[in-house]
Amino acid sequence: MPSTASLKPETVRRLLNKFLFVFLFFIHSASAQADPQASRWSESAPLPTARTEIAATQIDGKIYVVGGFANNGVSDAMEMFDSASGQWQSMAPLPRPLHHATATAVEGKIYVIGGFHSGSWTPVDSNYIYDPQKDEWSEGAPLPTARGALAATAIDGRIYAVGGAHRQFFRLVNTDANEVYDPATNQWKSLAPLPTPRDHLAVAKFNGKLYAIGGRVNVNYNENLDANEVYDPATGRWSTLNPLPTARSGIVALVLNDGIHVLGGESGEKTFTENEQYLPSTDQWKNLVPIPAGRHGSGGVSLNKQLHLLGGGPRPGGGGSTSHFVYSEK
């Protein structure tokens, strides 16, 4: 190779620019590869029963997974994971098998609301209350709008049940229902309807507001949505936000630190590994370390500064798994 002294100045500049480009590319690549190390997925003790379209919540460091589709049909199973011991235990089963229900914890009790009964996808209005201290079930006031594939979360001790699908003649169609339950009075109240009616959506509470994200039209996973809407209980109004980057349904939304993680989901072609984080403070989205394997219809819990993604289907439209993925940020 000739020395730089024998090269024209223009050639030397091109070589230096090329070297600088390669150097900067290397630094950027090394930095990009280092970023995922700040966050990672691991695996924890698998679910005792392979299931999908389940509901999950946590109380006092214990994760409860309920209902869903199992290998032998619709499940009434309630299984509890003790994060302290790392062990699973079977608890008193649901009063009846359900899939596509919700599970929300308030004041030490778990409320399993809505869902579908049997393989015929019959929407229900049930409100089953589980007492972990007694390992017993009771019933609360029924959901005003019978529906499944809805989403629910608790804000200030009240449970907001949003969206889903109900029966209209012989079809399942979307409802815009936004109904709130007060366990203290055992009463329901109808609120401002969901602007974009949908099912298989996810909701999350962040700073006292309810975020409704993703979903699909009339139980059709070929019609996924990127909707991102927020409800403020203080004003009783909905607002439209920056849409979900990857339109999907059958998702989980969980809060960790300063953002809402939207995990997994399905379409007619595949299950998703996406882990997209919404930052309410800036109305922006970030792509983070994907799930080790695509899942839909999983249960999700935020616990001890980690996200637990439980069970779910590995392929569109069905299946079940015993997966127990855990996401951590260092």
- Per residue in 204-245, pLDDT tens? 999 999 999 999 999 999 999 999 999 999 999 999 999 999
Cβ-proximal residues to 253 (8 Å cutoff; 6+ apart), any chain? 202, 203, 204, 211, 213, 214, 260, 261, 262, 263, 300
Tokens read off for 298: 């999983």
No. of H helices and E strands in the chain?
1, 33
Evaluate if residue 37 carries a pLDDT over 80.
no
Check: CB of residue 13 under 8 Å from CB of residue 4.
Answer: no
Evaluate if residue 21 carries a pLDDT over 60.
no
The predicted-structure confidence for 129-168, as pLDDT tens digits, reads as follows: 999 999 999 999 999 999 999 999 999 999 999 999 999 9
Cβ-proximal residues to 33 (8 Å cutoff; 6+ apart), any chain? none
Check: CB of residue 244 under 8 Å from CB of residue 179.
Answer: no
Residue 119: its pLDDT value, please? 81
Q: Name the band, by pLDDT with cuts 50, 70 and 90, for residue 13.
A: very low
Percent of the chain at pLDDT > 90 equals: 85
Cα–Cα distances in Å, from 176 out to 197, 199, 288?
A: 4, 9, 31
Query: Domain for residue 61, yes or no?
Result: yes
> CB-hemisphere CA count at 13 Å for 127?
21
Q: Which residue has better confidence, 34 or 63?
A: 63
Query: Domain for residue 127, yes or no?
Result: yes
- Tell me the sheet residues that pair with 239: 230
Number of domains in the chain: 1
Closest CA to 193 of 238, 148, 225: 238
The pTM of the full predicted model, rounded to 2 decimals, is 0.89
Evaluate if residue 68 carries a pLDDT over 90.
yes
Check: CB of residue 319 under 8 Å from CB of residue 52.
Answer: yes
**DSSP 8-state code for residue 189:** E
Residue 22: its pLDDT value, please? 35
Residue 20 host element (H or E): helix 9-34
Query: Domain for residue 241, yes or no?
Result: yes
Query: Domain for residue 23, yes or no?
Result: no
Supply the CATH number for residue 273's domain: 2.120.10.80
Which range of residues forms the domain containing residue 233? Answer: 44-328
Query: Domain for residue 126, yes or no?
Result: yes
Radius of gyration of the chain (CA): 23
Check: CB of residue 42 under 8 Å from CB of residue 328.
Answer: yes
Strands 216-217 and 187-190 come out as: unpaired
**Residue carrying structure tokens 């009075």:** 185
How crowded is residue 243: how many other Cβ atoms within 10 Å of its Cβ?
Answer: 15
Residue 11: its pLDDT value, please? 43
Residue 38: its pLDDT value, please? 66
As a residue count, the chain comes to: 330
Query: Domain for residue 230, yes or no?
Result: yes
Evaluate if residue 10 carries a pLDDT over 70.
no
Cα–Cα distances in Å, from 302 out to 53, 147, 168?
A: 18, 25, 35
Residue 267: its pLDDT value, please? 98
Query: Domain for residue 165, yes or no?
Result: yes
Question: In angstroms, rounded to a whole number, what is the distance separating the alpha carbons of residues 255 and 204?
Answer: 7
Closest CA to 291 of 243, 244, 252: 252
Query: Domain for residue 189, yes or no?
Result: yes
Evaluate if residue 185 carries a pLDDT over 50.
yes
Residue 30: its pLDDT value, please? 37
Residue 39: its pLDDT value, please? 79
Closest CA to 70 of 53, 84, 51: 51
Tokens read off for 281: 């403070």
